[in-house]
A and B are shown apart, each in its own frame.
Chain A
């Protein structure tokens, strides 16, 4: 669907003003259409209600696709390699989970795998699945459910926290042995940046509105 007013926020469904309730104070107010980059703020508590993010779906598609590539690299190559004498150990997420399970801590291993592999994967792959076809007015089967999932996964995807953990560990280990950076570390940096850019660029109101529009369009056709 082409936008009728390319400089205004997403193609709205309703003719009249849309109503919106602030998620902090529940004040009911009309949602004005905004110019690109502008934000609307709650008249009672000042919380940002939404922002018109230009090319939101295109940004989300591009950055989540890049994040997916970085994710493959980050899981394939080690983040760090540590050498002491003749023994050298490698750090990848799978290896860390494996060692934790061997050391009788399967729950911590499950947590680490979920927060650094499962949740980021659902987030990034889900965003690509929803945003890429939606740009052309197509919603793949289950797009709404996937959008719900990725909203749930958002707080649990902790790759940036893991990256901080890597830096802290580096500072801890620095004096003990020889630590080498792997390709995985740079890929992780790229993954964190791209995920943040994809999440920060997406306009959730546009996303949901477009999902609704495509669903209505499909219903009209049948």
Chain B
């Protein structure tokens, strides 16, 4: 079975801003003026680079305190994971689950999904292109929700200012963690899902006829 041809095979590019299909030799989209590309430039290289930087930042984001609670009984530094554990022990299960999902599960799953997509697009692992497209869609959709922990820190720092009684100050992990979220969002944006289908088309063409 052969698939209908991609636009790229006819030297046609779909504008990444306004979706208009125009010949690539025009260089700029005749409708919105954006630069035309058949595929996102250096898509895999950029995605790998952004993913590696996100992983590097993820280490301090988890080891360093995200906020410090200081009060009459001295100071107490909280990391992301210690916060989750504390809520679990306090039997505040919904909060623990939300924070665990947004700050631990989603970033790890997102990086794993993008690594898988990059490997599949460069032909090192095989998976059904439909499943990969779905994974890409979900990755793009969920990524921003990881930011919730940074917002919680901002909110608590602003509200809990009772001098010596109790004060919350932000820790260095807040910046690292927002860096992780921003980098993984850029990584997802720089990945071109069309590469998966290019690979799939090439595989179909290579396969010996039955």
Contact = CB atoms under 8 A, between A and B. Distances in A.
A112 B21 contact: no
B69 to A, nearest CB: 10
Given A24-B197, A171-B94, A89 B161 contact: yes
A147 B14 CA distance: 17
Interface bin, chain A: 35 or more
A82 interface: yes
A149 B147 CA distance: 22
B18 interface: yes
A24 B150 contact: no
- Chief secondary structure at chain B's binding surface: helix
A4 B169 CA distance: 61
Counting chain B residues whose Cβ lies within 8 A of the other chain, the interface size class is 35 or more
Interface stretch (B5-13, B45-53, B107-115): B5-13
Contacts of B34: 148
Interface in A101-154: 103, 105, 107-109, 111-112, 115-116, 144, 147-148, 151
B137 to A, nearest CB: 8
Contact of A28 (B6, B20, B87): B6
Interface in A147-191: 147-148, 151, 155-156, 158, 161-162, 164-166, 168-169, 171-173, 176, 179
A173 B157 contact: no
Contact of A45 (B5, B92, B129): B129
A148 B17 contact: yes
B65 interface: no
A168 B98 contact: yes
Interface stretch (B55-63, B119-127, B170-178): B170-178
A26 B151 contact: no
A24 to B, nearest CB: 5
Contacts of A116: 151
Contacts of A158: 144, 147, 151
A40 interface: no
B129 A168 contact: no
A91 B152 CA distance: 12
A100 interface: yes
A109 to B, nearest CB: 8
Contacts of B145: 161, 164
A97 B170 CA distance: 12
A46 interface: yes
Given A45-B133, A108-B150, A169-B152, A208 B32 contact: yes
A169 B155 contact: yes
22 contacts: A19-B7, A21-B7, A21-B21, A23-B19, A25-B196, A26-B6, A28-B12, A80-B159, A84-B166, A87-B165, A100-B157, A108-B150, A108-B153, A108-B170, A115-B147, A155-B189, A158-B151, A165-B149, A168-B98, A169-B155, A173-B160, A208-B19
Given A91-B155, A155-B185, A164-B151, 4 more contacts: A26-B194, A82-B159, A147-B32, A168-B152
Interface of B: 3-8, 10, 12-14, 17-21, 31-34, 87, 92, 94-95, 98-99, 102, 129-130, 133, 136, 140, 143-145, 147-163, 165-166, 169-170, 174-175, 178, 182, 185, 189, 193-194, 196-198
